């Protein structure tokens, strides 16, 4: 689950490369493919030495070399065998060619050089006219092979390391090793499995479209094209699903997507984990597949399970959950191996590593006022199981190819967020892949069934799977393109089908995380704040059976973080846009300004709640029992962040763009800056000037930040496109600071307390240089 702290890790293998080898030389006919399948690699362990028999028919054939470290797909690469004189070479390419026509570099420097992983002397006395035999022991005992991830200070003690065993699966050889690693001051051991896997005949690909939230098969960490609002030449990542009966509207697949629950998953959670994966069945039915997903349990006496394999998709249970220091970790991920040429997902492992504490805490702070089960700690197993199910459903979406992103946010009608029938049919979020967490909008008087406060598979998930997996094998390229475009265009009339990847710049509520979205973020936040207040009042009750106050302190900090995210969502309306990705053919607006009246309402709400915090939030009654200082002041930290975000350069550049390019927004930048300053310093207009400590902190920071911003020197560092304040903004800020200086000077003649008087003098001193 992304937070964007729960990492979705994509590790893509290599299938074909450009350079000395042509595409045609790596394509096999069905007859050739069958011959290769019947003549796969042989392996023997003799006197602790590993011998591999490489059939000559396998030379130059594309294979995967996979490093299964601790069951996670850490790294894999395309390889092929090449014979020269008395040696065999194992090589990997610097670039591969996708079926979409794009050449994909395999290294950050785009060197395009083929890399030799290892060179082996052919053992003549063992070899035959069909098979070359080699001694491959040393290669597998180096732990991480040449060009793979490695730590400079880390080595391998080969004398203590050894090969534990080998196993054969369909077109796959797995080698299990016991590795002793040596560092600067310590040594440690681990078991690492390696696979050599013959890639299957390529499946039909489906082209990537930036309007649908699938990963593309040419994603590389150093070239993150998946995170741009554009459609590069690429295929999406998806499983090979083929109908058993192509004439049926809904058919069983030839081969379902099968997951295995590992034995480490506690028995009481297995039904919830299984249910989380199977939530996706209706989505695949919409694409024409019945029983597309199968979830099995471990077979305890199956010796094959001692070996990792690309043929098994495992759902594992993180082992750090109960280790001290990891109590609050969010560590669930999906690890996927994808064929770079076609986009076929070959294997996917789901790792559920999030701690019980992190899962329960997030629910309690949002739903404690709405669900009696969340008014105790720990929560009942029934509730925790449902939360685990939602977490697994999210990670399963990654295993099927979907990204973490924003699906249909800022589109659900606000009035439906408290409508039980709507929540039952549609959920409170269009997609399980969103980061809306749990619903905090309903009020206790609404008596909403608590099960409807937990995310579930949504209509946009079904829509996305339908677009990606509906078989179009008999369609021509033009017919396929038209059929897929028709599905995409459903977004024109159904806004919650729309998707955006989100980006560093928060340009509207449709791109915010950790909060429940609706068409009215202001009213949603107003209701959310009511529940936050109730939760704070409940914290002493929740903490009753605890031996200390660590639980109540931790939950309070998380409540403050939720408050910050709600304020940030409202702030995103100011200078904000709705997002609807368009193609050139559509000719519409990808970014549409949020109405001026909504932005004005958002401003009024934001400055009232972000900078004039009530005592029930800043210092709940119970807090004085177990605190002795204002340090640390987490609320102050969040308020500072909100102030900095409200005046940051990117927001002002968006406001400038609105007034320059959209009617009705003339002068909005000056208006925003003037109203913000007036609200932040409203005390200066009162008869008796009294400014509390918290507000003094914000006011001094405001002056310091703007002075630093306008004093940036021009030149290359302030070149076009730089995120510094523009000349226009600097001029407006200067005018505002001059007005502030005059107001501060006048306030010195009013009645003030000593600390306020000193605060005013300090602000004036800071503004000395403004004339």
* Tens of pLDDT, residues 524-539: 999 999 999 999 999 9
Q: What is the pLDDT of residue 141?
A: 84
Residue 306 predicted with pLDDT over 60: yes
Examine residue 286 and state whether it is found in any structural domain, yes or no.
Answer: no
Q: What is the pLDDT of residue 11?
A: 42
Examine residue 353 and state whether it is found in any structural domain, yes or no.
Answer: no
Neighbours of 450 (CB within 10 A): 18
Question: What is the C-alpha separation between 64 and 58, in angstroms, rounded?
Answer: 13
Q: What is the pLDDT of residue 21?
A: 32
51-84: burial string, b at 16+ Cβ within 10 Å, e else: bbbbbebbeebbbbbbbbbebbbbbbbbbbbbee
Q: What is the pLDDT of residue 722?
A: 67
Q: What is the pLDDT of residue 145?
A: 47
Examine residue 588 and state whether it is found in any structural domain, yes or no.
Answer: no
Geometric angle at alpha carbon 390, from 387 and 393, rounded to 5°: 150
Percent of the chain with pLDDT over 90: 70
- Which run of H or E residues covers position 89? strand 87-92
Domain end among 199, 215, 241: 199
Q: What is the pLDDT of residue 159?
A: 75
Question: What is the C-alpha separation between 254 and 114, in angstroms, rounded?
Answer: 37
Q: Return the SS3 of 682.
A: helix
Evaluated on CA atoms 736, 737, 738, 743, the torsion sign reads: positive
- For the ranges 225-229, 345-349, 404-408, 505-509, which has the lowest average pLDDT? 225-229
The arithmetic mean of pLDDT across residues 552-576, rounded, is: 97
The arithmetic mean of pLDDT across residues 653-671, rounded, is: 96
Q: What is the pLDDT of residue 17?
A: 36
Examine residue 226 and state whether it is found in any structural domain, yes or no.
Answer: no
Residue 653 predicted with pLDDT over 90: yes
The arithmetic mean of pLDDT across residues 561-573, rounded, is: 98
Examine residue 103 and state whether it is found in any structural domain, yes or no.
Answer: yes
Is the pTM higher than 0.95? The answer reads: no
**DSSP-derived secondary structure letter, 459:** H
Q: What is the pLDDT of residue 542?
A: 97
Domain end among 139, 166, 199: 199
Alpha-carbon 525 to chain mean position:
24
Examine residue 444 and state whether it is found in any structural domain, yes or no.
Answer: no
Query: Is-contact 527 535, C-beta < 8 A?
Result: no
Question: Residue 111 sits in which domain range?
Answer: 10-199
Closest among 114, 118, 150, 115 to 52, alpha carbons compared:
118
Residue 460 predicted with pLDDT over 60: yes
Higher-pLDDT residue of 20, 404: 404
Q: What is the mean pLDDT of the chain?
A: 88
Q: What is the pLDDT of residue 27?
A: 39
Q: What is the pLDDT of residue 102?
A: 83
Strand partners, 383: none
Residue 220 predicted with pLDDT over 70: no
Domain end among 140, 173, 199: 199
Counting the structural domains of the chain, the total is 2
The pLDDT confidence band at residue 29, using thresholds 50, 70 and 90, is very low
Give the side-chain half-sphere CA count within 13 A for 501: 21
The pLDDT confidence band at residue 488, using thresholds 50, 70 and 90, is very high
Examine residue 679 and state whether it is found in any structural domain, yes or no.
Answer: yes
The arithmetic mean of pLDDT across residues 666-689, rounded, is: 96
Residue 730 predicted with pLDDT over 90: yes
Residue 74 predicted with pLDDT over 60: no
Question: What is the C-alpha separation between 570 and 515, in angstroms, rounded?
Answer: 11
Q: What is the pLDDT of residue 279?
A: 98
Examine residue 569 and state whether it is found in any structural domain, yes or no.
Answer: no
Percent of the chain with pLDDT over 70: 88
């Amino acid at each position: 689950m992304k937070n964007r702290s729960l990492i979705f890790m994509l590790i893509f293998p290599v299938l074909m490369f450009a350079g000395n080898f042509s595409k045609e030389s790596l394509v096999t006919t069905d007859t050739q493919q069958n011959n290769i399948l019947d003549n796969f690699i042989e392996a023997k362990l003799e006197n602790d030495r590993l011998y591999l028999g490489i059939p000559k028919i396998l030379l130059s054939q594309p294979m995967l070399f996979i490093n299964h470290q601790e069951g996670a797909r850490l790294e894999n690469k395309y390889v092929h065998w090449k014979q020269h004189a008395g040696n065999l070479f194992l090589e990997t390419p610097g670039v591969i060619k996708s079926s979409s026509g794009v050449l994909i570099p395999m290294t950050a420097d785009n060197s395009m050089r083929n890399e030799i992983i290892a060179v082996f002397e052919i053992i003549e006395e063992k070899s035959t006219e069909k098979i070359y035999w080699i001694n491959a022991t040393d290669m597998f005992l180096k732990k991480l092979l040449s060009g793979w991830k490695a730590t400079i200070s880390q080595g391998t003690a080969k004398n203590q390391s050894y090969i534990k065993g080998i196993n054969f699966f369909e077109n796959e050889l797995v080698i299990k090793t016991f590795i002793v690693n040596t560092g600067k001051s310590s040594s440690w051991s681990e078991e690492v499995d390696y696979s050599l896997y013959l890639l299957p005949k390529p499946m039909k690909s489906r082209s990537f479209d930036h309007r649908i939230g699938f990963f593309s098969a040419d994603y590389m960490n150093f070239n993150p094209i998946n995170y741009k609002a554009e459609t590069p030449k690429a295929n999406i990542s998806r499983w090979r699903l083929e109908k058993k009966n192509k004439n049926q509207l809904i058919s069983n697949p030839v081969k379902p997507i099968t997951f295995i629950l590992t034995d480490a998953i506690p028995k009481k959670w297995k039904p919830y984990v299984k249910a989380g994966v199977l939530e996706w069945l209706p989505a695949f039915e919409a694409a024409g597949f019945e029983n597309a997903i199968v979830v099995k349990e471990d077979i305890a006496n199956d010796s094959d399970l001692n070996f990792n394999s690309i043929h098994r998709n495992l759902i594992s249970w993180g082992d750090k959950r109960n280790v001290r220091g990891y109590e609050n970790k969010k560590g669930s991920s999906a690890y996927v191996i994808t064929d770079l040429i076609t986009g076929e997902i070959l294997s996917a492992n789901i790792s559920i590593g999030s701690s019980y504490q992190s899962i329960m805490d997030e629910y309690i702070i949002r739903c404690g006022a709405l669900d009696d089960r969340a008014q105790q700690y720990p929560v009942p197993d029934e509730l925790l199981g449902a939360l685990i199910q939602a977490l697994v459903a999210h990670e399963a979406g990654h295993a099927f190819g979907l990204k973490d992103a924003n699906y249909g946010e800022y589109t659900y009608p606000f009035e439906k967020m408290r409508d039980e029938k709507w929540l039952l049919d549609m959920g409170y979020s269009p997609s399980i892949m969103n980061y809306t967490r749990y619903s905090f909008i309903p009020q206790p008087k609404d008596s909403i069934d608590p099960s409807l406060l937990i995310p579930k598979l949504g209509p946009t998930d079904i829509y996305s799977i339908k677009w990606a997996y509906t078989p179009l094998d008999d369609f021509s390229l033009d017919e396929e393109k038209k059929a897929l475009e028709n599905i995409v265009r459903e977004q024109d009339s159904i806004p919650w089908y729309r998707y955006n990847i989100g980006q560093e710049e928060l340009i509207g509520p449709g791109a915010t995380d950790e909060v429940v979205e609706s068409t009215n973020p202001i009213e949603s936040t107003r209701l959310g704040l009511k529940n936050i207040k109730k939760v704070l009042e409940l914290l002493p009750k929740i903490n009753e059976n605890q031996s200390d106050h660590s639980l109540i302190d931790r939950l309070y900090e998380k409540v403050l973080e939720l408050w910050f995210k709600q304020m940030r969502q409202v702030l995103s309306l100011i200078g904000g846009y709705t997002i609807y990705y368009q193609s050139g053919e559509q000719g519409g607006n990808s970014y549409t300004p949020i109405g001026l009246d909504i932005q004005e309402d958002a401003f009024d709400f934001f400055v009232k709640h972000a900078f004039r915090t009530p005592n029930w939030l800043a210092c709940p009654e119970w807090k004085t029992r177990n605190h002795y200082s204002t340090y640390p002041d987490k609320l102050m930290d969040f308020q500072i962040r909100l102030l900095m975000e409200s005046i940051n350069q990117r927001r002002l550049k968006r406001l400038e763009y609105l007034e320059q390019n959209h009617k009705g927004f003339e002068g909005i930048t000056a208006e925003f800056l003037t109203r913000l300053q007036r609200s932040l310093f409203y005390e200066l207009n009162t008869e008796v000037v009294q400014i509390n400590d918290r507000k003094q902190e914000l006011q001094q920071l405001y002056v310091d930040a703007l002075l630093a911003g306008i004093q940036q020197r021009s030149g290359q560092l302030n070149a076009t496109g730089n995120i510094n304040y523009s000349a226009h903004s600097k001029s407006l800020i200067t005018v505002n600071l001059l007005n502030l200086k005059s107001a501060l000077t006048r306030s010195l003649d009013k009645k003030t307390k000593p600390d306020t008087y000193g605060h005013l003098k300090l602000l004036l001193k800071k503004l000395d240089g403004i004339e």
